[in-house]
Amino acid sequence: MKKILLCVSVAMLLSITAYATDHSEFIEGPFADATEVTKTCLECHEDAAIDFMKTPHWTWERKQVANGKEVTIGKKNLLNNYCGTVSSNEVHCMECHAGYGWKDKNFDFTDKTRVDCLVCHDTTGTYHKDGDNAGWPKEHVNLEEVAKEVGLPVRQNCNSCHALGGGGNNAKNGDISLVLDYPDRSIDVHMDADGNDFQCQECHKTEDHYIPGANLQTSPDGFNAISCEGCHDAEPHEQSRLNAHAKRVACQTCHIPVYAKEDPTQMDWDWSTGGKDESPAGIDGKIVRYKKTVGTQTWKADQEPSYAWFNGKAGIYLVGDKIDPKVPTPLAWPLGDINDKTAKIHPFKIHTGKQIYDTKNNYLITNHIYGPDAFWTTADWALSAKIGMETSGLPYSGEYGFAPTTMHWRIDHMVAPAEEALGCLDCHGDNGRMDWAALGYKGDPIDGK
């Protein structure tokens, strides 16, 4: 309880500080372009860019151990279940980079003026970046007006990328959608706009522009992951039986019974149907959608999570890893099992897909999807595969097919009110949601199995 009070007190103090700093007194435009705004910010916030440029929000990579070996990985060079890879598609993907002008491998990561302060600090809601100009703001943005109104980030800032990345609202995470801009209590008890109104940095406690958090794929080492114990006690329940559960069951498992509240999330992306003028059968335009440029996508709301043991670390697919195209290739998956005493049963979204792969070399293709010579323009798989592989430097046989893939996503947000948390029978009833056999039990453990 003391920790919670401390959190709230700090939040209030930070809020007061934010409101107290009226930047309109210091900022004077007009600005020729967005880098001029950054230069103005750095006149007072001298170390801000230096600090920020050390973080993965800028580098999109981090040295860490994954799959037992030391690698430097991140969004920059991994292959995911959505648009595939950043490589050769930078002009589009950098809509979500907190920088200006990363259009190819020649981007200067040491240029402080390329740091985009506004995307995180805009309080007007009028600052927008586009998916067609390497992270520069849209032309209509009034840079002076936005710069004069900067403040501490709110959920809307973070959501601009973390909710919209991957091809639409809530496409990726499942538990981070635009509904978290201003949620009510039933959506999330912590972020309830009329209640606690926690901003993201309440839990993702930020220091020197470093924002902690561990996405399963980009942080498979689990470095700086957020834990409920940051505010709550390890034994928070009045009932000892529930506290005993907390030793092997993550808080999220009981307290996030459903994800994708209000806004549907993408559950499947089948690229293999892309490029055809006629949509395949079974398209209803709502749950199952088709576009020639992207293939078939399935979107669903109010999803019951999948459950798996999770010790905080993950396995990931690295570009060039061999696959068996007859079985689904996991691109990110939780580590841990019933015998791992550091693991807990944790909720996940499992996104499935079909992706282009090299049928002779048996690995996934780093596809070129954005640009005048790319798939979204040409609908030519052979050409886009060739260009994409040339850019990433991976040998390409020239033969391609489509293989099934999966990707796990942690479910950590959309925490329900306590009265809506899972009850005993939700897991231990006749139709309980746990697949005990898949978790390594012989039967329901309540029966001593």
Site residues for other proteins per CB under 8 A: 124-126, 140, 142, 145, 156, 178, 181-182, 193-194
Minimum Å distance from CB 293 to other proteins? 18
Between 177 and 392, CB nearer to other proteins:
177
ω before 328 within 30° of 0 (cis)?
no
* Residues 161-170: contacts with CB under 8 Å, at least 24 apart: 161/95, 161/96, 161/119, 164/96, 165/96, 166/80, 166/82, 166/83, 166/266, 167/82, 167/83, 167/266, 167/269, 167/294, 167/297, 168/266, 169/263, 170/260, 170/263, 170/264, 170/265, 170/266
Q: Cα–Cα distance between 142 and 137 in angstroms, integer? A: 10
- Contacts of residue 50, defined as CB under 8 A and 6 or more positions apart, other chains included, come to 112
Check if the beta carbon of residue 352 is closer than 8 Å to that of residue 404. yes
Nearer to other proteins, 182 or 441 (CB): 182
Nearer to other proteins, 61 or 262 (CB): 262
CB of 160 to other proteins, least distance (A): 9
What's the CA gap between 8 and 309, in Å, rounded?
32
227 close to 215: Cβ distance less than 8 angstroms: no
The CA distance from 143 to 134, in Å, is 17
Using alpha carbons only, give the angle 85, 59, 270 rounded to the nearest 5 degrees: 20
Kindly tell me which of 157 and 252 has the beta carbon lying closer to other proteins.
157
Least distance from C-beta 349 to other proteins, angstroms? Answer: 23
113 or 123: whose CB is closer to other proteins?
123
Is the CB of 182 or the CB of 210 nearer to other proteins? 182
Residue 54 C-beta: closest distance to other proteins, Å: 30
Q: Which is nearer to other proteins, 111 or 181 (CB)?
A: 181
**Both tokens assigned to 93:** 């993907």
Distance of closest approach, residue 197 Cβ to other proteins, in angstroms: 12
